[in-house]
Amino acid sequence: MNKLKFIRELVKKEAKDHDWQYHILPVVVYAKKLAKIYKVDQELAELAALLHDIGRIRHGDLDHNLTGMIDAEKILKDNQYPDKMINQIKQSIKLHRASQHVRPKTILDKIIANADAMAHFDILPLFFYWRAKKHEFPKILEWMQEKINRDWNKKLSLPAAKKIIKPKYQAIKLILKACKQWE
Ligand SMILES: [Fe+2]
Ligand SMILES: [Fe+2]
């Protein structure tokens, strides 16, 4: 098995079903799409996308960009990836969260942050399902609104990513507005 395939299988095995299928996999697909547009190496983009949430998968949400850097480094080193690639991937993992004050710097950082946000727009009903277990309906609506606006305004920095997501952003906004009128 080649090393990229090995890492793909490793993440697939460790991520819970819904996380792989509805988050990691879409992030990989979007990252590769953006990498093609912005002329970034496909394997580099796929590895960064596969590993961007490894910290969350293994250790929980808190500071998962930082815990993820450490785990990603080990996984990539074990698979004999060159240091330059490892460092680029580590930085993109560190900077993938819009909630952090540091902004993505390189094109790879931006691709991962953008692909991460793009994936959210495809699984909104699933987010709804997860959140509904913990919150009242108006709170869920507020959270969804906050989430899509943060993704749209802060994470989607690449024009190509914004163009792909725009119809979904507008549709979601319209639906949220429709829901809110009954409050
Ligand atoms: Fe994350
Ligand atoms: Fe993510």
Digit-coded pLDDT (tens) for 111-166: 999 999 999 898 877 776 776 677 787 888 888 888 899 999 999 999 999 999 99
The pair of three-digit structure tokens given for residue 54, joined into one six-digit string: 């490894």
The Å distance, Cα 39 to ligand 1 centre, comes to: 24
**Which ligand approaches the C-alpha of residue 27 most closely?**
2
The Å distance, Cα 53 to ligand 2 centre, comes to: 5
For ligand 2, a single-atom ion, which residues have Cβ within 5 Å? 53, 116
Encode burial over 54-82: b for 16+ CB neighbours within 10 A, e otherwise: bbbbeeeeeebbebbbebbbebbeeeebe
Domain ranges of the chain: 3-180
The Å distance, Cα 181 to ligand 2 centre, comes to: 31
The Å distance, Cα 98 to ligand 1 centre, comes to: 9
CATH code for the domain defined by 3-180: 1.10.3210.10
User: In the prediction, which pLDDT does 131 show?
Assistant: 67
**Which ligand approaches the C-alpha of residue 23 most closely?**
2
Under the banding of pLDDT at 50, 70 and 90, the label for residue 27 is very high
The Å distance, Cα 133 to ligand 2 centre, comes to: 21
Residue among 125, 182, 181 nearest 148 (CA): 125
Can you give the pTM of this predicted structure? 0.91
Collapse the DSSP code of 100 into the 3-class scheme (helix H, G, I; strand E, B; otherwise coil) and give the result: coil
Cα gap 65→54, rounded to integer Å? 8
The pair of three-digit structure tokens given for residue 88, joined into one six-digit string: 């680029």
pLDDT tens-digit map of 45-94: 999 999 999 999 999 999 999 999 999 999 999 999 999 999 999 999 99
pLDDT of 99 strictly over 70: no
Cα gap 22→26, rounded to integer Å? 6
The Å distance, Cα 76 to ligand 1 centre, comes to: 18
